């Protein structure tokens, strides 16, 4: 009878301890979830900001590329004109 | 007591003899030509009639009905026949057979769940056990019956059960309880206006009151009973209330009145041929005469009492009548006869005492057996309780183990879930971090490229300024007279200036992360002002509708492309269209922004003209920013360039 009683008490004690542990794990999981979620949100916001910056940079580079093309064309044109002008000056003189 | 008990059952089966025989004959005749079901009903009816006159015949017909019900195979008919057999059995004094029949009826009734017949069977069992003197059992059956009748709201049945319970309590000498139950029965029968049962109940109450010593009350109830019976013309059966009236008066020392009632009761019982009742009444009357000192009559009547008592072997009346006769003969100085009756009295009394002793011993034995059984029951109960405790403990442990297993499973699941979540979140986080690093590195690279571009722009700007300055120095320093050379230098200078403007415009766009409408407006206005100074004959107009939101913003590419398209359109209008009036406007149309550049120049034929680089560039720029560009022109009228964003 005594052993039976001790066994019963032990079982129920284990149930209580494990239940407490279970609640703790559950709470920890919730807390962990919340913390990681916050960190992820922060990271996402960072990524969004950097992506926007990246977009602006890309646009600026696009403009720069376009400008470079145009400027090189123009410089080529100016050089051509200057050479023609040089030909005109020196052609007349010699 | 016994006489009243017998009265109840006899009265219920009473009917007129002559009419009965006639009816029996007719029923037996029609029996031959009937279907089986009709035959069953007729057999039951015959059994019912015989119950009042010949119990053996009643049993035979009830048995026939039962056999027929088995042939038909109908449970309800079987129950009916068994109940009849049960009733016939106890009336014949065969209580074991009666119990067996009622139990069979109860089994079938339970099988077909017929509450009415269950109640009938319980009631029958109650009567049988009551007859056997097992009053506790009989009362428990009566209460079961009562419960069912209450559920079925069967008042008549309830009244009958109350009456039976009252009888059992009376047998147990619990007279007050008997009166209480009789009163309940009386109330029901009064409501039902059932005079016959009211007569019976009133007489029963009177009997109980006599036992309790309330003689006056007893007289009242006996008189009521007598009155009901007289009204019903059951005068022969008024013998029972008359007996009670006589006993009450005798006890109240109203001997004359008592004698009158005893005599009337004796007369009626003589007609009914009931020796037991006559033995009792004659003995009581003999005692009354003795009390009235009429010893001769007392002796005669006492002898009558002995004769009737011997007829039914009623020792208690033989003893009491012998005692009365002994006393009477002593008073008549007939000592030999007195002595003889005294000896008889002693013999009968010894016999009664022996019977009583045997009864007491039996009772003691029964009590001992009962106690022994009770002890055994207690021991068994203790054993059962211990086993139950043990089972409970095992159950508790089992429940505990099951709960423990559930808790452990849940714990495992939670741990697994937590780990899974951790992994998932770490993966997610690392992915995000990786993406961030990738973007950051790309941004750094782009930043470096932009820095290089800016340095390049500064250098180119400086170089271009140097070219312009050199050309201007050439023009003014050397005083060039050659017109062709002069024009060439001016052309190169202008082209270089335009290049610088383009460079500045792009740097303007590159220095902004977003271009607001206001910025664009300022830039276009500046350009128009500049154009105005170059082409003085042309009138410029620039307007933006107030319906366009000031918060509107363009990306740098969009802003730059819009500006370039406007610039190209205005330049085309100045250069090729020879326009006098150029209008630039921006308005909101169907939630889209529309820029329009309109001139009143020479226009061109869309079908005949080939599209030049300028127009192609405009279309390409519009396409790059997802806008729609359309040109509407008519020769000599002018051209409109529409840019829809």
Residue where the block lists tokens 């910025």: B519
Q: What is the pLDDT of residues B20-36, one digit of tens each?
A: 677 778 888 887 778 88
- CB-based contact B411 A22, cutoff 8 Å: yes
**For residue B576, pLDDT beyond 50:** yes
Start-end of H helices in B32-134 = 36-51, 55-72, 75-91, 95-112, 115-131
Give pLDDT tens digits for B456-495: 888 888 988 998 898 888 888 877 777 888 888 888 888 8
CB contact under 8 Å between A29 and B421, yes or no, is yes
Average pLDDT over residues B52-66: 81
ipTM given for this complex = 0.82
CB atoms B506 and A64 under 8 Å = yes
Asked if residue B437 has pLDDT above 90, the reply is yes
CA distances from B445 to A50, A57, A58, B433, B438 (A): 13, 10, 11, 18, 11
* End-to-end CA gap in chain B: 121
Query: Least CA distance to A19: which residue of chain B?
Result: B407
Tokens of B228: 């009901």
For the whole model, what pTM was predicted? 0.45
- pLDDT of amino acid B355: 67
Tell me the chain A residues in contact with residue B429 when contact means C-beta distances shorter than 8 Å.
Answer: 36, 39-40, 43
Does the pLDDT of residue B8 top 50, yes or no?
no
Task: Look at residue B549 and tell me whether its pLDDT is greater than 80.
Answer: no
Could you tell me if B593 and B616 are in contact, meaning their C-beta atoms sit under 8 angstroms apart?
Answer: no
User: Is B55 or A19 the better-scoring residue by pLDDT?
Assistant: A19
Give the residue from B126, B220, B136, B120 showing the smallest Cα distance to B172. Answer: B136
Closest CA to B231 of B218, B241, B245: B241
Q: What is the pLDDT of residue A50?
A: 92
Across the interface, whether the CB atoms of A61 and B446 are under 8 A apart is answered yes
Chain A residue numbers with beta carbons less than 8 Å from the beta carbon of B482 are 92
Asked if the Cβ–Cβ distance from B502 to A22 is below 8 Å, we say no
Q: Is the pLDDT of residue B372 over 60?
A: yes
CB contact under 8 A, A47 and B456: no
Percent of chain B clearing pLDDT 70 (strictly above): 95
CB contact under 8 A, B467 and A78: yes
Residue of chain B with shortest Cα separation from A32:
B422
pLDDT of residue B467: 87
Structural contact between residues B581 and B552, judged by C-beta atoms closer than 8 angstroms: no
d(CA B186, CA B203) in angstroms, rounded, equals 11
Q: Any idea which residue has 């050089």 for tokens? A: A79
Mutation site for A-interface testing, chosen from B399, B424, B425, B471 by largest number of A Cβ within 10 Å: B425
Rounded distance between C-alpha atoms, residue B61 and residue B31, angstroms? 12
CA B236, B237, B239, B241 dihedral sign is negative
**Do A64 and B491 make contact, defined as CB atoms within 8 angstroms?**
no
Q: Taking CB atoms and an 8 Å limit, are A32 and B485 in contact across chains? A: no
% helix, strand, coil for chain B, step of 5:
80, 5, 15
Given an 8 Å threshold on Cβ–Cβ distance, is A25 in contact with B415?
A: yes
Residue B357 has what pLDDT?
67
Contacts of B95 (CB under 8 A, 6+ apart): B89, B128, B129, B131, B132
Q: Report how far apart the first and last C-alpha atoms of chain A are (Å, whole number).
A: 133
Alpha-carbon dihedral sign for residues B456, B490, B604, B520:
positive
pLDDT, tens digit (0-9, with 9 covering 90-100), for B512-528: 888 888 888 888 888 88
Nearest chain A residue to B451, by CA: A61
Q: How confident is the model at residue B348 (pLDDT cuts 50, 70, 90)?
A: confident
By three-state DSSP, how is residue B631 classified?
A: strand
**Rounded CA separation B204/B1 (Å):** 9
Of A7, A15, A63, the CB nearest to B557: A63
Note the pLDDT of residue B132. 78
Q: Nearest chain A residue to B443 by CA: give it.
A: A54
At B182-236, the pLDDT tens digits run 999 999 999 998 888 899 899 999 999 998 999 999 999 999 999 998 888 887 7
In angstroms, the separation between the Cα of residue A57 and the nearest Cα of chain B is 6
B396 contacts A67? CB cut-off 8 A: no
Match 């006996």 to its residue by tokens: B222
pLDDT recorded at residue B7: 40
* Listed residue (B87, B51, B84) closest to B67, CA to CA: B84
CA nearest neighbour of B634 among B594, B595, B585, B600: B600
Tokens of B530: 């500049």
Q: Which long-range contacts (CB under 8 A, 24 or more apart) does B114-119 make?
A: B114/B76, B114/B79, B115/B148, B115/B151, B115/B152, B116/B148, B116/B152, B116/B154, B117/B76, B117/B79, B117/B80, B117/B83, B118/B148, B119/B145, B119/B148, B119/B149, B119/B152, B119/B154, B119/B157
Query: How far away is chain A from the Cα of B387, in angstroms, using its nearest Cα?
Result: 12
- Can you tell me the distance from the alpha carbon of B247 to that of B206, in angstroms, rounded to the nearest whole number? 10
The pLDDT confidence band at residue B139, using thresholds 50, 70 and 90, is confident
- Across the interface, whether the CB atoms of B404 and A11 are under 8 A apart is answered yes
Percent of chain B with pLDDT over 90: 25
Residue B569 has φ and ψ, to the nearest 5°, of -65, -45
For A1, nearest residue in chain B (alpha carbons)? B390
Residue B145 near residue B106, CB atoms below 8 Å: no
Q: How far apart are CA B506 and CA B529, in angstroms?
A: 19
User: To the nearest whole angstrom, how far is the Cα of A94 from the nearest Cα of chain B?
Assistant: 16
What token pair was written down for B493? 């200078």
Cα–Cα distance, B621 to B629 (Å, whole number): 9
Q: Is the dihedral of CA B271, B274, B279, B281 positive or negative?
A: negative
Mutate to test the interface with B, among A2, A51, A61, A64 (most CBs of B within 10 A): A64
Query: How sure is the predictor about B4, in pLDDT bands with cuts at 50, 70 and 90?
Result: very low
Which chain B positions have a beta carbon within 8 Å of A19's beta carbon? 407
> Taking 60 as the threshold, does the pLDDT of residue B542 lie above it?
yes
Q: How far apart, in whole angstroms, are the C-alpha atoms of residue B262 and residue B256?
A: 10
Structure-token pair, residue B391: 């089972």
Q: CB-CB: which of A18, A26, A50 is closest to B439?
A: A50
Number of DSSP helices (H) and strands (E) in chain A, helices first: 1, 0
Nearest one of B630, B631, B622 to B604, comparing CA atoms: B631
Q: B272-295 burial string, b = 16+ CB within 10 Å, else e?
A: eebbbbbbbbbbbbbbbbbeeebb
What is the DSSP secondary structure assignment for residue B153, as one 8-state letter? T
DSSP characters for B588-609? Answer: EETTEEEEEEEE-S----TTTP
Q: What's the average model confidence in pLDDT over B86-108?
A: 86
Residue in chain A closest to B435 (alpha carbons) equals: A47
CA distance A29 to chain B (A): 6
Angle formed by the axes of helices B2-12 and B239-251, nearest 10°: 160
Instruction: State chain B's mean pLDDT as an integer.
Output: 85
Separation in Å, CA of A91 to nearest CA in chain B: 12
* Digit-coded pLDDT (tens) for A40-94: 899 999 999 999 999 999 988 988 898 888 888 888 988 888 888 888 778 755 4
Mean pLDDT confidence for B427-447: 92
**Minimal Cβ distance to A47: which of B421, B439, B503:** B439
Would you say how long chain B is, in residues?
Answer: 645
Q: Examine the pLDDT at B19 and tell me if it is beyond 70.
A: no
pLDDT value for B592: 84
Decide: B207 and B244 in contact? Cβ < 8 Å.
yes
């Amino acid at each position: 009878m005594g052993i039976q009683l001790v066994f019963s008490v032990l079982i129920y004690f284990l149930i209580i301890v494990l239940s407490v542990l279970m609640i703790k794990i559950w709470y920890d999981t919730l807390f962990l979830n919340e913390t990681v979620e916050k960190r992820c949100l922060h990271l996402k916001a960072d990524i969004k900001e950097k992506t926007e910056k990246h977009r602006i940079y890309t646009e600026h580079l696009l403009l720069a590329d376009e400008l470079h093309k145009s400027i090189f064309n123009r410089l080529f044109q100016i050089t051509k004109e200057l050479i023609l002008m040089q030909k005109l000056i020196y052609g007349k003189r010699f | 007591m016994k006489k009243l008990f017998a009265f109840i059952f006899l009265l219920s089966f009473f009917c007129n003899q002559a009419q009965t025989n006639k009816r029996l004959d007719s029923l037996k005749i029609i029996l031959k030509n009937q279907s089986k079901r009709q035959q069953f009903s007729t057999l039951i009816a015959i059994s019912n009639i015989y119950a009042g006159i010949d119990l053996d015949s009643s049993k035979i017909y009830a048995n026939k009905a039962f056999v027929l019900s088995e042939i038909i195979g109908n449970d309800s008919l079987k129950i009916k026949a068994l109940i009849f057999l049960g009733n016939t059995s106890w009336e014949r004094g065969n209580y074991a057979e009666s119990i067996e029949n009622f139990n069979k009826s109860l089994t079938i009734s339970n099988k077909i769940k017929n509450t009415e017949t269950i109640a009938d069977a319980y009631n029958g069992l109650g009567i049988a056990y009551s007859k056997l003197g097992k009053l506790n059992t009989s009362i428990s059956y009566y209460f079961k019956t009562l419960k069912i009748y209450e559920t079925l709201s069967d008042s008549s049945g309830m009244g009958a059960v109350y009456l039976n319970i009252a009888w059992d309590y009376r047998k147990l000498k619990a007279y007050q309880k008997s009166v209480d139950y009789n009163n309940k029965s009386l109330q029901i029968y009064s409501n039902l206006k059932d005079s016959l049962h009211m007569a019976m109940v009133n007489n029963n109450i009177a009997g109980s009151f006599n036992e309790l010593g309330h003689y006056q009350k007893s007289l009242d109830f006996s008189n009521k009973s007598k009155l009901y019976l007289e009204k019903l013309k059951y005068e022969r059966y008024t013998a029972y209330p008359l007996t009670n009236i006589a006993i009450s008066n005798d006890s109240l020392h109203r001997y004359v009145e008592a004698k009158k009632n005893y005599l009337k009761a004796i007369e009626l019982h003589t007609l009914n041929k009931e020796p037991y009742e006559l033995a009792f009444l004659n003995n009581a009357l003999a005692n009354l005469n003795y009390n009235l000192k009429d010893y001769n009559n007392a002796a005669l009547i006492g002898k009558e009492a002995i004769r009737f008592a011997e007829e039914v072997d009623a020792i208690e009346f033989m003893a009491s009548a012998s005692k009365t006769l002994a006393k009477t003969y002593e008073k008549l100085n007939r000592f030999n006869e007195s002595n003889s009756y005294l000896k008889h009295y002693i013999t009968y009394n010894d016999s009664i005492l022996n019977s009583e002793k045997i009864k007491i011993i039996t009772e003691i034995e029964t009590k001992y057996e009962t106690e022994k059984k009770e002890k055994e029951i207690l021991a068994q109960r203790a054993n059962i309780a211990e086993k139950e405790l043990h089972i409970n403990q095992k159950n508790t442990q089992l429940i505990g183990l099951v709960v423990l297993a559930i808790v452990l499973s849940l714990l495992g699941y939670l741990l697994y879930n937590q780990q899974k979540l951790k992994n998932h979140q770490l993966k997610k986080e690392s992915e995000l971090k990786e993406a961030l690093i990738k973007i950051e590195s790309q941004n750094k690279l782009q930043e470096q490229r932009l820095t290089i571009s800016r340095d390049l722009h500064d250098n180119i700007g400086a170089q271009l300024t140097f070219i312009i300055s050199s050309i201007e120095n050439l023009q003014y320093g050397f005083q060039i007279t050659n017109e062709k050379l002069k024009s060439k230098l001016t052309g190169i200078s202008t082209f270089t200036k335009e290049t610088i403007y383009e460079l500045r415009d792009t740097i303007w766009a590159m220095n902004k992360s977003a271009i607001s409408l206001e910025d664009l407006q300022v830039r276009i206005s500046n350009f128009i002002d500049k154009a105005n100074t170059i082409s003085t004959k042309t009138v410029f107009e620039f307007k933006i509708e107030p319906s366009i939101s000031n918060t509107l913003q363009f990306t740098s590419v969009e802003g730059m492309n819009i500006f370039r398209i406007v610039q190209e359109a205005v330049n085309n209008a100045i250069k090729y269209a020879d326009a006098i009036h150029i209008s630039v406007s921006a308005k909101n149309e169907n939630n889209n922004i529309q820029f329009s550049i309109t001139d009143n120049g020479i226009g061109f034929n869309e079908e005949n003209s080939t599209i030049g680089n300028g127009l192609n560039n405009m279309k390409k720029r519009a396409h790059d920013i997802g806008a729609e560009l359309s040109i509407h022109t008519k020769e000599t009228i002018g051209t409109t360039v529409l840019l829809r964003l």
